Amino acid sequence: MTRQATGGAGHVRGDRRPPAGLRRLLSRFVRDYVHGLKRHERYLMDPVHGRSPSLRPAARRWPAGSGPRSMTAPRAFSFQGIERVLPDSRGWHHQPWGQDWIGQLHRFDDLNAADAEQRREWHRALVLNWAVANGPGRGPGWEAPSLAPRIVNWIKWDLRGGGLASETTRRSLVVQVRYLRHFFSRQWRDGPRPDIAKALIFAGSYFADGRESRAWLRKGMRALGTLAPTDLSTEDLRDLALLSLVYPDLHPPHGHR
């Protein structure tokens, strides 16, 4: 019988598998990595005491919007001159529709468009559908260009008429803000992001005073302070000024100073 030569640590020469010690190290690394992902997802999905945080009392309602309408029927949308129907929950991730079109779909700009009150029930159903169909970090709706404006749009919509009435949608909003803050540093390295700063300020103001909401507000305010005046649009300045009227005790900035 021919004996196989062995290398160090009992590794048989010619055996293409990694040495036993390396296999154990890789196995532990993968196990720890998966455990870390699960722990992170539990953090994202678990608002305090199993419920979303309470809301800060608002001094006034958010005014009606005047932007262009994009929702043409209960599940139909028009962006870039192209009208499409969202057939079911899978439509949120339908890649053939194109990244730009899908990105606009996930922003929910129609919540604050002209005559939005006439589409109130459409919006309620759509927001709930999104919350159920889009898990944390999965799909284009979790990219900052859609995520940050959606957070602001949902909050403005709720401040105007209490649209986020269900625990499911409020929990989803909490998860979205947590996700945005968690990946904030990575996104900011790509350049100034007033949309991220604005979303964190809105969320920190909207939810009642607590450790998380204070952290969101503080992070957003610091980020706002790093921006040049030209980084903010007229809409950004208007929204921040209106936010200071809705929550006068917080004294957010009246525009950018």
Q: How far is CA 52 from the centre of its chain?
A: 15
Looking at residue 90, its pLDDT comes to 75
Task: State the chain's mean pLDDT as an integer.
Answer: 83
Residue-level pLDDT at 91: 81
* pTM > 0.85: no
The pair of three-digit structure tokens given for residue 3, joined into one six-digit string: 């004996």
Three-state DSSP class for residue 248: coil
- At residue 50, the pLDDT reads 57
- Residue written as token pair 């309602």: 61
pLDDT in tens, 205-246: 999 989 999 999 999 999 999 999 899 999 999 999 999 999
Beta bridge mates, 12: 6
What digits encode the pLDDT tens for the residues 133-145?
998 888 899 998 9
Please tell me whether residue 218 adopts helix, strand or coil conformation.
helix
pLDDT tens for the 257 residues of the chain, in order: 545 455 555 555 555 666 776 666 666 655 544 444 455 455 555 544 456 789 999 999 999 999 999 999 999 999 999 999 998 777 898 878 999 999 999 999 999 999 999 999 999 999 999 999 998 888 899 998 999 999 999 999 999 988 898 899 999 999 999 999 988 766 666 677 899 999 999 999 999 989 999 999 999 999 999 999 899 999 999 999 999 999 998 864 444 44
Which pLDDT value is given to residue 34?
47
30 burial type by CB count under 10 A (0-12 exposed, 13-18 middle, 19+ buried): exposed
Query: What pLDDT is attached to residue 137?
Result: 86
Helices (H) and strands (E) in the chain, counts: 9, 3
Determine the Cα–Cα distance for residues 175 and 20; give it in Å rounded to an integer: 41
